[in-house]
Amino acid sequence: MNHPSARMLELLSLLAPGVPRAGADLAARLGVSPRTLRRDVERLRDLGYRVQSARGTGGSYLLPAGQGMPPLHLSEEEAVATAVGLRHAAAAYGPDGPGPADSALRKLEQALPARLRGRIEALLAATEVPGGTGPADGLGTLERLATATHLRSRVGFEYAGRDGGSGGRRAEPHRLVLLAHRWYLLAWDEDRAAWRTFRVDRISGLRVPGTTFPTRPLPEGSAGLFPGPGAARGAVLFLAPAGAVARRLTARAGTLEPAGPGRCRYLTGTDDWDWLAGALASVGLPYRVEGPAELVRATRALTARAGAAAPADQKA
More confidently predicted of 248 and 237: 237
Give the mean model confidence (pLDDT) for residues 16-36.
83
Selection from 178, 182, 169, 171 nearest residue 149 by Cα: 171
- Segment (H or E) for 255: strand 254-258
More confidently predicted of 299 and 104: 299
Give the mean model confidence (pLDDT) for residues 71-98.
68
Task: Please say if the pLDDT value at position 302 is more than 80.
Answer: yes
Give the mean model confidence (pLDDT) for residues 31-53.
85
The predicted structure's pLDDT at residue 311: 74
The SS3 of residue 39 is: helix
Burial of 78-115, coded b for 16+ CB within 10 Å and e otherwise, reads: ebbebbbebbebbbbbbeeeebebbebbeebbeebeee
Domain positions in the chain: 4-62, 76-126, 139-224, 234-309
- Segment (H or E) for 308: helix 293-309
Q: What mean pLDDT value characterizes the chain?
A: 79
- Residue count of the chain, please give it: 316
Give the mean model confidence (pLDDT) for residues 33-56.
84
More confidently predicted of 220 and 285: 285
The SS3 of residue 258 is: strand
More confidently predicted of 193 and 8: 193
* Local confidence band at 134 (pLDDT 50, 70, 90 cut-offs): very low
Assess contact for 234 and 291: CB atoms under 8 A. Answer: yes
The predicted structure's pLDDT at residue 286: 93
CATH class name, domain 4-62: mainly alpha
More confidently predicted of 98 and 47: 47
The SS3 of residue 74 is: coil
- Cis check for the bond before 20: say yes or no (omega within 30 of 0): no
* Burial category of 148 from C-beta neighbours within 10 Å (exposed 0-12, middle 13-18, buried 19 and up): buried
Of the candidate ranges 52-61, 68-77, 233-242, 293-302, the one whose mean pLDDT is the lowest: 68-77
The predicted structure's pLDDT at residue 169: 93
Task: Please say if the pLDDT value at position 94 is more than 60.
Answer: no
Percent of the chain's residues with pLDDT above 70: 75
Q: Which fold has domain 139-224?
A: SH3 type barrels. (2.30.30)
